[in-house]
Amino acid sequence: MKKIIVPTDFSDCAANALKAAAEIARKDGSEIHLVHVYDQPVYGFAEANVDIVKNRKVINHLEEKFQKLKSQDFLKKLKIKIHLFTDKKIWEVINSKRFSDAGLIVMGSHGSSGWREYFIGSNTEKVVRYANLPVLVVKEALKNFEIKNMVFASNFSTEADTSFQKIQNISGLLNTRIHLLKVITPGNFEPTRLSVDKMKKFSKGFQSNDFSINVFNDNTVEEGILNFCNSISANLIAMETHGRTGIAHLINGSITEDLVNHISLPVLSVRM
């Protein structure tokens, strides 16, 4: 891939994501594009009244932070580019033409819960929902970002093919084994034989044979994914997301976003 986009707020959480992006970039020579969005300081009550003096101070402060970040040892010999945007949403920025040739977004996440999750959500959650590019969400620092076991959880419908091709490309870059997983719940029962046949048919459409096929029973899909990942010591969860918005999102929710919010493993999401 040519570019890896790494949005940053200069927090420890964002640093964990940048370290993961750096490990990926070293494998194929990708450029890392650091992105920060801030609100311009204004005076009075009109948004158009930008305080030029204060804005210059803010820019200088942010540029100092970027330079300090670029000087970190883990970024040595990597191609780093910096982007500052004002008065925009981060998901609008990453979907712009400027980054149309990027291959991956890597973001940190603090997670969210309770009323904040339902009514506000995190920037990361919204990027997962809106981004056209694959999004890798990293919460905790991983030593050398070694990913040995990736779990791809899906219902393995035909529309999952395009998403999985992108996931398989990233898997090849990380040199990881993929564990195909279908979770069966009491409210959505399917005989194991049919699930396995569907997954075998799905996997035949892709070049690699380094897949394991797994059917796992649990109370909910989220619990099944997490419990299966624990059973094989998985390092990363990959899923497709429908990118639902508005009323559809409030009614249906998103399993991918739930996982991003509530588990510590990295999550790779690809919009269908």
Residue 11's SS3 state is: coil
Convert the pLDDT of each residue in 38-74 to its tens digit. 888 877 666 667 788 898 999 999 999 999 999 999 9
Positions in the chain whose pLDDT score sits under 50 = 112-121, 245-253
* Among 140, 215, 131, 212, residue whose Cα is nearest residue 171: 212
Q: Which is it for the CA torsion 143, 144, 148, 153, positive or negative?
A: positive
Residue 230's SS3 state is: helix
How far is residue 153's CA from residue 214's CA, in Å, rounded to a whole number? Answer: 10
CA atoms within 13 A on the CB side of 236: 28
How far is residue 264's CA from residue 260's CA, in Å, rounded to a whole number? Answer: 8
Convert the pLDDT of each residue in 195-211 to its tens digit. 999 988 888 877 666 78
The C-alpha torsion from 221 through 195 and 245 to 17, rounded to 10°, is 70
The pLDDT assigned to 261 comes to 61
User: pTM of this prediction?
Assistant: 0.85
Read off the tokens for 106: 């890597």
The pLDDT assigned to 188 comes to 87
Residue 10: Cβ-neighbour burial (10 angstroms; 0-12, 13-18, 19+)? middle
Domains of the chain: 3-138 (3.40.50.620), 145-271 (3.40.50.620)
The pLDDT assigned to 245 comes to 46
The pLDDT assigned to 3 comes to 95
Convert the pLDDT of each residue in 146-160 to its tens digit. 888 999 998 887 777
The pLDDT assigned to 115 comes to 35
